[in-house]
Structure 1
Amino acid sequence: MSFISRWIEFYDFARGVQHFRYVTENKAMVYLGQPYTYANIKRSGLTESGDLTRNVLDLSVPIDLPLLDLYRGTAPMQDLDMTLMRQRKSDGVVETRWVGIIGSVEWSTNKAIIHGLPPMASLKGLGLKRNWQKGCPLTTYGSGLGECNVDRETMRVNATIISTAGLTATAAAWGTKPDGWFDGGWIEWSVAGIVERRPIVSHVGTVLTLLRPALVPDGTVVATYPGDDHTLATCDTKFNNAINYGGDPFLTEKNPMGSDPIY
């Protein structure tokens, strides 16, 4: 914002208990009891529309902004909430002007563009929750009436990281399970109260291949949760949960509504 602007703008980027707070005024300030650091942030215009593609907010920020450290190399798995508040200089009136999430970060030589998306953009589309199918459509470890209801803590394997390299991570504890045991699962660990997660693509011996790199220091203990191929056999033998299986393994493969005269 210009120094002749009638407003002071405050930006709060939050992920759990972690906050990055910046103010456009050329000095550090305290707002609602929280400290805000000056940052040279320039934003796009604000638009209110029923078209979600127009309700975006783009921020041009310095390349060395500490917030961007979360996006160097690989973006965090969790969304970062993004809130724009502003205070009128003349009378101190405060308003929340825009709320959303960080969708992506675009890099250039001396600046970065943070692309903000409205909250509705992250919502899943409406539709049928369950299909009539052989495989189980339930979310593994989901809880509630009609859900999977496997207690994930009973399946957790704690593992001490020996090393990481690119998309792979190594820990001795993973070798105690048969190959493929953790396929489709994830690892998670905590850094300063923030839970980080990485999906598991494949598991062979003591090595996991992850969907994204995990910058986990050697010696870190991570919780590892096995995945599920959503078949009745796996539900029964791996999770001892056949009673909650959500699919129909005996579903006929012949379409009764087709042209076959047998029906």
Structure 2
Amino acid sequence: MSQTPLQEIELYAFASNSAQFHLTPHEFDVDLGGTVYVSTPIERNELALGAEAAKSALELKLPQTCDLVRHLLANALTGDTTAITLRIARRDPWGDTWWIAGTRWMGRVLGVEVADDGARVRCESAQVSLKRIGLRRLYSRTCSHVLYSAACGASPISASAIVSGSTGRSVDLDGGVPGSVSGGLAGGWLQTPEGARHMIVSETGSGVELLYPATIEPGTEVLLTAGCDHSTATCASRFGNLDNYGGFPAIPSKNPFSTGVF
């Protein structure tokens, strides 16, 4: 018994200042006017029906090894914003071609989290962003600037090292972590000669632990860049950049509306 051909598909377009990605969750690539949407395992949450669908938050689940995930992790370090558009395409009844039938959702990527079972991408609707009142910058005790961004203004602290071996998320370095960045790599990154950046979550006795698994050949020279915990102490002692600190550490700990003024 023959199956009815699929008549409607979803297409995801991601765009930042440095790259574009076109993906589809279906089992085949889709070519639309020369733009190829690559077949990628994508799961998403249910969106509301009708006009409320455009306001809903979008959550995606993708493989850890997806190039988009690596790009979003790198963007989290540089502060680059990634826009996302979810479109619907329908099959041409007179041929085996597809055409854009409409846009179902538009917004921006808020963040990405990598776990053992995949990467989860959180996205915010464009309607929600545009209707938000006031400034978008967070009012928080710790600094909200992206490290080494224009707003941060700190100068990168980096050192080269030679990889002696890598297993999963662990990367061993010949001679261990260089002294100039030792003790400050958490929240920073490891950069390969190809330009790929891997976020560092901690230092080990012989090297570093990355946020997600990476295979790096022994003998590869990598660049280690220090991170920041966004505290005033680190800003002052490690970077000498307290004048540009973007947090508000003196916010009162007691809320007078809940505890009373006296």
What is the TM-score of this pair, normalised by structure 1? 0.56
Question: Take 2:112 and 2:252, find their aligned partners in 1: how far apart are those partners?
Answer: 42
Provide Cα deviations, 1:51-103, integer angstroms capped at 9, x if missing partner. 679776999xxxxxxx85836xxx65728957444245247863344456798
Question: Take 2:41 and 2:189, find their aligned partners in 1: how far apart are those partners?
Answer: 38
The match for 2:167 is 165
Provide Cα deviations, 1:146-199, integer angstroms capped at 9, x if missing partner. xx21133xx2334332211233212247333364121222224476x8x4432x
Q: Can you give the 5+ residue segments of structure 2 that lack an aligned partner in the other structure?
A: 74-81
Shift of 1:33: 1.7
Match of 2:72 among 78, 86, 91: 78
The match for 1:186 is 189
The match for 1:130 is 139
**Is the radius of gyration larger for structure 1 or structure 2?**
1
Structure 1 residue identity aligned to 2:154: V
Shift of 1:11: 3.6
Matches within 5 A, 1:68-147: 70=65, 76=70, 78=72, 83-90=86-93, 94-99=100-105, 119-120=124-125, 129-131=138-140, 133=141, 136-144=143-151
Question: Take 1:240 and 1:57, find their aligned partners in 2: how far apart are those partners?
Answer: 38
The match for 2:226 is 226
The match for 2:155 is 151
Structure 2 residue identity aligned to 1:237: S
CA contact (8 A) 2:86 2:104 kept: yes
Structure 2 residue identity aligned to 1:156: S
CA contact (8 A) 1:87 1:95 kept: yes
Q: Secondary structure at the match of 2:65?
A: helix
Q: Secondary structure at the match of 1:157?
A: strand
Structure 1 residue identity aligned to 2:198: R
Provide Cα deviations, 1:3-48, integer angstroms capped at 9, x if missing partner. 456x4647456583555568778xx77421235678999x999844
Q: Secondary structure at the match of 1:235?
A: helix
| Shift in CA distance, 164/205, structure 1 to aligned 2, threshold 3 Å | same
Match of 1:174 among 174, 177, 187: 177
Question: Take 1:35 and 1:215, find their aligned partners in 2: how far apart are those partners?
Answer: 28
The match for 1:34 is 35
| Shift in CA distance, 190/255, structure 1 to aligned 2, threshold 3 Å | same
| Shift in CA distance, 237/254, structure 1 to aligned 2, threshold 3 Å | closer
Structure 2 residue identity aligned to 1:240: G
How many residue pairs are counted as aligned between the two chains?
229
Q: In percent, how many aligned pairs have the same letter?
A: 20
| Shift in CA distance, 255/120, structure 1 to aligned 2, threshold 3 Å | closer
Question: Take 2:169 and 2:41, find their aligned partners in 1: how far apart are those partners?
Answer: 35
Structure 2 residue identity aligned to 1:70: T
Q: Can you give the 5+ residue segments of structure 1 that lack an aligned partner in the other structure?
A: 60-66, 106-113
CA RMSD after TM alignment: 5.4
Question: Take 1:17 and 1:210, find their aligned partners in 2: how far apart are those partners?
Answer: 25
CA contact (8 A) 1:168 1:210 kept: yes
Question: Take 2:31 and 2:261, find their aligned partners in 1: how far apart are those partners?
Answer: 74
The match for 1:111 is none
